[in-house]
């Protein structure tokens, strides 16, 4: 066993050794160790290099607030995790860890030249240095900064792990399983109440795990803890460990990130690595305790310098002495106990140095009894040692005078600048803080959330205070939940309440301008930087923060914020409460992207809706494209075909014989009721009253602003029943808009809307042979020009299936849309496919559909329109029922701007050089005008068209309808293309092909 492990102390299981590696070297720890505690047990303090100066650093804390000891952990390909806090990562057999920010090695690091150039890298360095010459930015400065920036190395492989998420609803969520949180649960628990306690550590207990000396209700603290946990579990209280409350959101919603497998030596099947819990609690108790503040003095970052409370945790929870000859320096009583515990564990404490002139008699007595030298009214002015602290220089202070320094040899320096309540989650609620003069810190004050703070989180120190306050807060929330709560009276022996004074940087006899007295360890911000920021004009604490980056590292200023505030306030000559605190934001600790993504990754990234015919398309080699939430077959390439070739073939065969197309994604709404026709009259531009049953019509839907929102063919199935179709992407939006008008503007109408998008599979047949193919399968109507003309619809039977048959065309060819109940869609498709073989039927996708409709000048809403296009702009004034007294958009169309000259209007474009234009390309009238040119429109659709014998395009052009035959210009990166403005119909303008 190493000389730093203390038998009989700690909760680690020394009978279960665990081997792991750090920077390739093997170490042995014990079951229950963190990486940090195991390394310290091996005498290793050097765990990393700092970000900016590459200074050697060790663990300064023992918990999640650790800023220095960031490591990479690895368990195979894709499972490398940078920036893991060594203080939180539990060891397991075979764990591989590496230090960061070093080259070539942690001990010999070339980046450490930055430390020698310290004076160059002070606050605002980047702003001052990388200013000029401007041309250096792209090639010199930015690459330099990028190379230097970034913490840790991101893995390049895909993450093979699964991540999970769950919702959890409870009556009471308690954050923190320390004495206050446990007491709150005990006081609040009642039959039927759902209570959850969450703690980020591997085991519940909080500060009790570091204070085994206490006796609670006559029991040793750890025995009491075991009993208490058993009682809570028996009462149904849920205790979640390794789970961090990362954010506190509106209406008592908290996000918890649970680390499920990072502590396990092997990965269990079907188990996510992390799970995000979205918790909604009726009441919340924040019992997160307090964070210890470092003292700010020259050399306070040397490995071996750490928080006194952390040293106490390493000793009492992990059974590790952080040094054999430590010195304690403090301004708070609590650190004295760390000295006492270490002395009792066999270390030789060299001195307890306290900045205060007077200290409680019992502490003085105990130090004397243990033989620990004490120095009051002293300051620390320097430390020595290269990769580990080896000495500390202390000086007496008398008033403002700092006396001569004296060197004390040591192998660890334990410091405490007092304690700050953990305010982060409370601050997420936009809760107000109140300054406490006695504690010289902010305390939680008011919040809108149903939330109370218990224990050290509101400035109460000691186990008894935490238990008493926790119980009181527990009863308070129980009352809010309508329960009486449970009485609790606790007695605590060997409690360690304490007090202290708050410090800015410690006084020194040396030039403070040369002191490397760190405030923010992770971002290498010193007291000097903060004072410089104020001297250079920063007045707001928010500006000081951004100029210096104090509190902006991944530890979110857990240790640095209050020290930074005290120093900035001193430099500003204003009291701290007037300077205020910067904002804490979620997440409380760094959280993986995987945890945020949860199940939404890979194949499950987002909802992908598929039609019943989708499997056929997939089996026939379709290439798909997303349209809204749907995936649709874009084209069906045959072997050796690219998209262009396939689409040309699909178009050609459709126009020559017959094509089959899956139109199931079209939105469908059944409009039913005696007032159906009134509703349709009001919603759509077109007139509907005279549309007979069994007829359909192209409908245009506007917003009340007069712009096109959607379109589709609408059939009248019965007097009071319309079959409305919408665009694929617009279905939900149109339904929402219709419901809005119906529910809130016209609630008197007796008409109801039902989405039938997914009731029907819709198969479109188009081409000269479409009727011939379909007719033998249809019962109930003759597919002749007289019996079933263009724009007719009927309920009939197709291939023995109940169907709604529409004679419509989106291609200019004879066209039908067959709707059958969705599960029958694939069967009908295959019947038509087989029957169509004699005609050389072709399956076409959305790309060919786009070409075929563009050849006829049919618009796609959202492609040829952009939300600022009126029916008149689109050349569709014919669809507007001008005689109707009102419809949605009628008044909008009369707005002066919509009737003005010079609006962008939809036209056709034919390029003079017969090249295909780029969709989205901008159009100008005069290609020779100076840059920036006046853009007068853009290309909305552009395709190769075999039917037109050349590339065709649709475009929105300023005043386009009055510019037929004029030439416009489309400047491209390599050339300018000239194109002639034409009408929008490129094929069969007389519609002769629609006739059977």
Query: What does R_g of the chain's alpha carbons equal in angstroms?
Result: 38
Which residue, 492 or 683, is less far from other proteins as judged by CB? 683
* Residue 788 C-beta: closest distance to other proteins, Å: 23
**What is the rounded distance in angstroms from the CA atom of residue 453 to the CA atom of residue 518?**
31
Phi, psi of 900 (to 5 degrees): -70, 160
* Residue 88 C-beta: closest distance to other proteins, Å: 21
Q: What is the DSSP string of 71-94?
A: EEEE-STT-EEEEEETTTPBP-TT
> How far is CA 688 from its chain centroid?
48
* Residue 664 C-beta: closest distance to other proteins, Å: 9
Place of tokens 């240095």: 129
Count how many residues are written for the chain: 996
Which residue, 46, 71, 52, is CA-closest to 111?
Answer: 52
Q: Which two tokens stand for residue 74?
A: 């690895």
Which residue, 41 or 680, is less far from other proteins as judged by CB? 680
Which residue, 96 or 704, is less far from other proteins as judged by CB? 704
* Residue 91 C-beta: closest distance to other proteins, Å: 20
Three-class DSSP category at 811: coil
Which residue, 510 or 733, is less far from other proteins as judged by CB? 733
Assign 3-state DSSP to the chain and report helix, strand, coil percentages, each to 5. Answer: 25, 30, 45
* Residue 431 C-beta: closest distance to other proteins, Å: 12
Which residue, 592 or 756, is less far from other proteins as judged by CB? 756
Three-class DSSP category at 992: helix
**What is the rounded distance in angstroms from the CA atom of residue 3 to the CA atom of residue 43?**
8
* Residue 604 C-beta: closest distance to other proteins, Å: 6
Q: Which two tokens stand for residue 464?
A: 């008894």
Sheet holding 708-718, edge to edge: 696-702, 708-718, 721-726, 667-672, 752-755
* Residue 739 C-beta: closest distance to other proteins, Å: 7
**What is the rounded distance in angstroms from the CA atom of residue 88 to the CA atom of residue 591?**
13
Which residue, 306 or 676, is less far from other proteins as judged by CB? 676
* Residue 764 C-beta: closest distance to other proteins, Å: 18
Surface-to-core class of residue 784, CB atoms within 10 Å of its CB (0-12 exposed, 13-18 middle, 19+ buried): exposed
Which residue, 265 or 840, is less far from other proteins as judged by CB? 265
Q: Which two tokens stand for residue 714?
A: 């609408």
Which residue, 502 or 728, is less far from other proteins as judged by CB? 728
Phi, psi of 636 (to 5 degrees): -120, 85
Which residue, 301 or 476, is less far from other proteins as judged by CB? 476
* Residue 670 C-beta: closest distance to other proteins, Å: 5
- Return the half-sphere exposure (C-beta side, CA atoms, 13 A cut-off) of residue 773: 32
Residue 289 Rama label (left phi>0; alpha psi -120 to 50; beta): left
**What is the rounded distance in angstroms from the CA atom of residue 210 to the CA atom of residue 499?**
18
* Residue 497 C-beta: closest distance to other proteins, Å: 34
Q: Which two tokens stand for residue 365?
A: 């007595």
* Residue 743 C-beta: closest distance to other proteins, Å: 5
Q: What is the DSSP string of 142-175?
A: HHHHHHH--SS----SPP---EEEEEEEEEEEEE
Distance linking the first and last C-alpha atoms of the chain: 95
* Residue 280 C-beta: closest distance to other proteins, Å: 7
Which residue, 171 or 333, is less far from other proteins as judged by CB? 171
* Residue 673 C-beta: closest distance to other proteins, Å: 6
Which residue, 107 or 891, is less far from other proteins as judged by CB? 891
Sheet holding 904-911, edge to edge: 922-923, 937-945, 950-958, 904-911, 976-982, 967-971
Which residues of 319-472 form beta strands (DSSP E)? 326-330, 351-354, 374-375, 378-384, 391-398, 401-402, 406-409, 412-416, 419-421, 432-436, 441-446, 451-453
Q: Which two tokens stand for residue 83?
A: 């920036």
Instruction: State the DSSP code for 787.
Output: T
Which residue, 279 or 525, is less far from other proteins as judged by CB? 279
* Residue 208 C-beta: closest distance to other proteins, Å: 25
* Residue 318 C-beta: closest distance to other proteins, Å: 25
* Residue 108 C-beta: closest distance to other proteins, Å: 45
Which residue, 261 or 324, is less far from other proteins as judged by CB? 261
Partners of 969 in beta bridges: 924, 978
* Residue 586 C-beta: closest distance to other proteins, Å: 13
Whether residue 949 contacts residue 893, with contact meaning beta carbons closer than 8 Å, is answered with no
Which residue, 116 or 269, is less far from other proteins as judged by CB? 269
Residue 462 Rama label (left phi>0; alpha psi -120 to 50; beta): left
Which residue, 79 or 610, is less far from other proteins as judged by CB? 610
Angle at alpha carbon of residue 874, lines to 873 and 876, rounded to 5°: 105
Exposure b/e, 945-978, CB count within 10 A at least 16 = b: bbbbeebbbbbbbbbbeebeeeebbbbeeeeebe
- H/E element holding 131? none
Beta strands 976-982; 967-971: pairing state:
antiparallel
Q: Which two tokens stand for residue 129?
A: 């240095």
Which residue, 83 or 261, is less far from other proteins as judged by CB? 261
Which residue, 148 or 230, is less far from other proteins as judged by CB? 230
* Residue 833 C-beta: closest distance to other proteins, Å: 17
Which residue, 510 or 609, is less far from other proteins as judged by CB? 609
């Amino acid at each position: 066993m190493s000389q730093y492990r203390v038998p009989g102390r700690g909760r680690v299981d020394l009978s279960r050794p665990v081997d792991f590696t750090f920077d390739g070297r093997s170490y042995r720890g014990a079951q229950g160790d963190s990486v940090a505690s195991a390394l310290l047990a091996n005498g290793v303090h050097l765990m990393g290099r700092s970000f900016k100066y590459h200074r050697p650093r060790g663990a300064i804390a023992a918990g999640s607030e650790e800023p220095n000891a960031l490591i990479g952990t690895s368990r195979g390909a894709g499972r490398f995790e940078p920036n893991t806090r060594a203080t939180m990562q539990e060891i397991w057999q075979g764990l591989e860890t590496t230090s960061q920010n070093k080259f070539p090695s942690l001990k010999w690091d070339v980046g450490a030249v930055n430390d020698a150039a310290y004076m160059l890298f002070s606050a605002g360095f980047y702003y001052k240095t990388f200013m000029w010459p401007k041309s250096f930015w792209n090639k010199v400065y930015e690459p330099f900064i990028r190379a230097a920036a970034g913490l840790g190395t991101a893995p390049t492989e895909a993450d093979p792990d699964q991540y999970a998420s769950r919702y959890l609803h409870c009556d009471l969520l308690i954050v923190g399983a320390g004495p206050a949180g446990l007491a709150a649960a005990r006081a609040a628990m009642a039959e039927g109440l759902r209570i959850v306690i969450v703690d980020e550590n591997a085991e519940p207990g909080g500060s009790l795990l570091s204070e085994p000396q206490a006796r609670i209700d006559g029991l040793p603290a750890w025995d009491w803890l075991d009993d208490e946990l058993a009682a809570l579990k028996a009462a149904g209280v849920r205790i979640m460990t390794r789970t961090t409350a990362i954010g506190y959101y509106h209406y008592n919603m908290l996000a918890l990130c649970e680390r499920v497998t990072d502590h396990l030596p092997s990965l269990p099947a079907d188990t996510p690595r992390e799970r995000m819990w979205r918790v909604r609690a009726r009441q919340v108790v924040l019992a997160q305790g307090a964070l210890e503040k470092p003292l700010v003095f020259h050399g306070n970052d040397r490995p071996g310098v750490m928080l006194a409370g952390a040293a106490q945790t390493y000793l009492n929870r992990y059974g590790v002495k952080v040094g054999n000859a430590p010195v304690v320096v403090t301004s708070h009583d609590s650190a004295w106990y760390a000295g006492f515990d270490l002395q009792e564990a066999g270390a030789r404490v060299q001195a307890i140095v306290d900045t205060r002139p007077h200290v409680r008699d019992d502490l003085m007595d105990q130090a004397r009894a243990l033989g620990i030298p004490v120095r009051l009214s002293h300051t620390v002015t320097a430390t020595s040692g290269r990769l580990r602290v080896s000495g500390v220089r202390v000086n007496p202070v008398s008033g403002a005078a700092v006396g001569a320094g004296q060197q004390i040899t040591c192998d660890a320096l334990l410091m405490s600048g007092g304690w700050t309540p953990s305010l982060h989650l409370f601050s997420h609620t936009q809760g107000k803080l109140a300054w406490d003069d006695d504690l010289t810190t902010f305390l939680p004050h008011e919040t809108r959330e149903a939330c109370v703070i218990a224990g050290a989180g509101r400035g109460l120190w000691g186990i008894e205070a935490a238990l008493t306050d926790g119980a009181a807060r527990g009863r308070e929330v129980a009352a809010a939940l309508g329960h009486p709560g449970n009485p609790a009276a606790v007695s605590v022996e060997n409690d360690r309440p304490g007090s202290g004074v708050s410090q800015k940087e410690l006084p020194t006899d040396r030039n403070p301008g040369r002191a490397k007295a760190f405030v923010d360890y992770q971002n290498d911000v010193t007291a000097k930087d903060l004072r410089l920021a104020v001297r250079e004009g920063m007045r707001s604490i928010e500006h000081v923060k951004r100029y210096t980056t104090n509190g902006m590292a991944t530890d979110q200023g857990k240790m640095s914020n209050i020290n930074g505030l005290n120093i900035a306030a001193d430099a500003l000559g204003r009291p701290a409460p007037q300077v205020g605190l910067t904002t804490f934001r979620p997440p409380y600790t760094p959280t993986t992207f995987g945890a945020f993504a949860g199940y939404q990754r890979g194949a499950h990234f987002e909802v992908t809706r598929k039609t019943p015919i989708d499997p056929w398309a997939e089996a026939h080699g379709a290439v798909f494209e997303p349209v809204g939430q749907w995936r649709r077959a874009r084209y069906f390439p045959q072997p050796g075909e690219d998209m262009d070739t396939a689409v040309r073939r699909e178009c050609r065969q459709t126009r020559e014989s017959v094509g089959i197309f899956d139109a199931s994604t079209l939105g469908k709404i059944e409009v039913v009721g005696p007032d159906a026709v009134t509703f349709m009259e009001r919603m759509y531009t077109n007139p509907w009253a005279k549309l007979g049953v069994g007829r359909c019509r192209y409908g245009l839907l506007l917003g009340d602003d007069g712009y096109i929102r959607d379109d589709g063919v609408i059939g009248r199935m019965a007097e009071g029943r319309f079959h409305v179709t919408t665009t694929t992407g617009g279905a939900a939006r149109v339904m929402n808009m219709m419901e809005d008008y119906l529910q809130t503007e016209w609630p008197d109408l007796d008409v109801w809307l039902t989405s039938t998008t997914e009731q029907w599979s819709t198969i479109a047949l188009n081409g000269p042979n479409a009727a011939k193919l379909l007719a033998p399968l249809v019962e109930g109507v003759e597919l002749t020009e007289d019996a079933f003309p263009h724009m007719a619809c009927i309920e009939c039977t197709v291939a023995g299936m109940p169907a709604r048959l529409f004679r419509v065309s989106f291609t200019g060819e004879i066209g039908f849309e067959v709707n059958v109940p969705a599960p029958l869609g694939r069967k009908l498709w295959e019947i038509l496919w087989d029957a169509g073989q004699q005609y050389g039927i072709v399956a076409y996708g959305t790309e060919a559909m786009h070409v075929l409709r563009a050849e006829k000048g049919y618009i796609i809403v959202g492609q040829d329109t952009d939300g600022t296009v009126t029916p008149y702009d689109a050349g569709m004034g014919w669809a507007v029922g001008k005689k109707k007294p009102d419809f949605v958009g009628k008044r909008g169309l009369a707005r002066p701007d919509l009737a003005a000259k010079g609006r962008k209007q939809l036209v056709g474009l034919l390029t003079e050089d017969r090249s295909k234009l780029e969709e989205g390309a901008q159009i100008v009238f005069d290609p020779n005008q100076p840059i920036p040119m006046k853009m007068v429109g853009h290309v909305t659709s552009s395709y190769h068209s075999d039917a037109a014998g050349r590339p065709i395009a649709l475009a929105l052009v300023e005043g386009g309808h009055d510019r037929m035959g004029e030439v416009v210009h489309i400047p491209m990166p390599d050339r300018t293309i000239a194109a002639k403005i034409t009408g929008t119909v490129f094929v069969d303008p007389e519609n002769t092909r629609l006739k059977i």
